[in-house]
């Protein structure tokens, strides 16, 4: 059994993992990713690709590594057959001092950790604890349905404190808007949740169920459904969902081996755009002639035919030869980064006007530090 969530993959409970990798996850702005291994952790830069740091322990594996942007503070949880720290403890690690500066202990195994500059969020199977970062005092706690994957999304933007997690019923999402002291409850899917993700400013939520055929986009404040995207017709396990920085695009990876890129602007998505101006060099599909997601030729009969015929399909695709992957948008316009559990790093380009097959621009095996391919 392998847990995979929004921007990370936790391999600590995987059977027969072929390499030293226990965990991979992006940082909050997707500019870096961290790996937990059977004997330490490593940090890699995405653009340009390079290993920027590694810490090897003489004994003990790291099963979760959560970065705080690019600073020297990390949250670590032990993992593997010989964990460095107990799996029911979160260790706050200061790498400048090369030591732990704080710890949080729980009665059960830690499933996930999320950080932002003012909060530490710890996910257990049935509870989520929210702490103040400065003094590690408890700020809030939330009860959830059984959450073995540790699903939880935390908005990193310091001007909007938003957390999304499973509710108390199957397929339901609870969104906490801490700044305005409001809770939004969303009945997102009939089946159990398999993945959820927030955009960078916390205004949009993407969800998928264990069926894995549809991804739904929600307004976090109102709970309104804004867009429905179809990954495919066959059942699939969704490994990751990622918005680009201004929520124009969404990338999805699954066990089918194809990364799907969806446009979040278009005929059915005029309102699904947070009021964020594109940065220099980034394409704004609304004004730059970008195509919308393809639909069935029978979509004009919406309401008369099964939902399948009115769904929006992906705009661009990239096929990965390896199974388990996470994906995020790169810092360069119209690029996606794909990281596999086998140790592969891919950078791909998609045509923002035509869509279709992505073009591979870069590849590295990050477990082989000598690789310059």
pLDDT tens column, 33-89: 999 999 999 999 999 999 998 999 888 899 999 999 998 899 999 999 999 999 999
The per-residue pLDDT of the chain, averaged, comes to: 84
- pLDDT of 297 reads 43
Cα–Cα distance for residue pair 134/293, rounded to 1 Å = 44
Q: Report the pLDDT averaged over residues 163-176.
A: 97
| CB-CB contact of 351 with 269 (8 Å) | no
How far apart CA 34 and CA 257 sit, in angstroms, is 22
Among 203-212, 249-258, 308-317, where is mean pLDDT lowest? 308-317
Q: What is the pLDDT of residues 142-168, one digit of tens each?
A: 999 999 999 999 999 988 999 999 999
The pLDDT confidence band at residue 291, using thresholds 50, 70 and 90, is low
Task: Supply the pLDDT for residue 292.
Answer: 63
User: Averaged over 297-307, what is the pLDDT?
Assistant: 47
Cβ-contact 263, 251 below 8 angstroms: no
Is the pLDDT score of 295 beyond 60?
no
CA distance linking residue 160 with residue 296, whole number of Å: 38
Residue 268 has pLDDT above 70, yes or no: no
12 pLDDT more than 90: no
Going by the DSSP 8-state scheme, the letter that residue 179 receives in this structure is: G
pLDDT band at 252 (very low <50, low <70, confident <90, very high): very high
Residue 276 above 50 pLDDT?
A: no
- Per-residue pLDDT, 10: 59
d(CA 172, CA 174): 7
pLDDT recorded at residue 221: 94
Residue 372 has pLDDT above 60, yes or no: no
Quote the CA–CA distance of 154 and 92 in Å, as a whole number: 18
For the segment 301-321, the average pLDDT, to the nearest whole number, is 67
- Tens digits of per-residue pLDDT, 202-241? 999 999 999 888 999 999 999 999 999 988 888 889 999 9
Global confidence as pTM: 0.85
Q: At 123, is the pLDDT very low, low, confident or very high (cuts 50, 70, 90)?
A: very high
Which pLDDT belongs to residue 369? 56
Question: Is the pLDDT assigned to residue 189 strictly greater than 80?
Answer: yes
**Spatial separation of the C-alpha atoms in residues 168 and 145, rounded to whole Å:** 5
C-alpha 326/C-alpha 259 separation (Å) is 9
Q: How far apart (Å, rounded) are the C-alpha atoms in residues 3 and 26?
A: 16
Q: What's the rounded mean pLDDT across residues 88-107?
A: 92
Strand locations in 3-126 (E): 3-5, 8-10, 21-26, 32-37, 40-46, 49-56, 61-67, 73-79, 89-94, 99-105, 112-116, 119-123
């Amino acid at each position: 059994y392998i847990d995979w969530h929004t921007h990370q993959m936790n391999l600590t409970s995987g059977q027969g993992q072929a390499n030293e990798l226990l965990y991979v996850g992006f940082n909050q702005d997707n500019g870096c990713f961290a790996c937990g291994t059977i004997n330490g952790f490593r940090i890699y830069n995405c653009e340009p690709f390079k290993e920027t740091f590694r810490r090897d322990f003489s004994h003990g594996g790291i099963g979760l590594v959560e970065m705080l942007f690019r600073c020297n503070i990390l949250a670590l949880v032990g993992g593997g057959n010989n964990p460095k720290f107990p799996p029911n403890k979160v260790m706050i690690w200061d790498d400048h001092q090369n030591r732990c500066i704080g710890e949080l202990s729980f009665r059960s195994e830690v499933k996930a950790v999320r950080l932002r500059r003012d909060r530490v969020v710890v996910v257990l199977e049935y509870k989520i604890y929210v702490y103040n970062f400065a003094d590690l005092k408890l700020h809030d706690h939330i009860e959830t349905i059984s959450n073995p994957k540790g699903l939880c999304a935390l908005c990193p933007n310091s001007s909007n404190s938003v957390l999304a997690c499973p509710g108390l019923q199957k397929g339901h999402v609870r969104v906490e808007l801490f700044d305005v002291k409001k809770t939004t409850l969303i009945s997102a899917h009939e089946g159990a949740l398999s993945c959820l993700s927030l955009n960078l400013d916390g205004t949009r939520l993407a969800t998928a169920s264990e069926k894995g055929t549809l991804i739904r986009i929600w307004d976090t404040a109102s709970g309104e459904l804004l867009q429905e995207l179809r990954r495919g017709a066959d059942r699939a396990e969704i490994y990751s969902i990622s918005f680009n920085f201004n929520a124009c695009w969404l990338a999805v990876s699954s066990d089918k081996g194809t990364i799907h890129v969806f446009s979040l602007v278009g005929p059915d998505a005029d309102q699904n755009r947070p009021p964020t101006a594109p940065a220099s060099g980034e394409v704004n599909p609304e004004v730059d002639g970008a195509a919308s997601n393809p639909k069935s030729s029978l979509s004009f009969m919406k309401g008369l035919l099964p939902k399948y015929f009115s769904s929006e399909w992906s705009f661009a695709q990239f096929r990965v030869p390896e199974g388990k992957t996470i994906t995020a948008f790169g810092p360069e316009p119209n690029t996606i980064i794909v990281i596999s559990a086998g140790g592969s790093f891919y950078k791909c380009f998609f045509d923002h006007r035509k869509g279709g097959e992505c073009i591979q621009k870069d590849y590295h095996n990050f477990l082989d530090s000598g690789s310059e391919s």
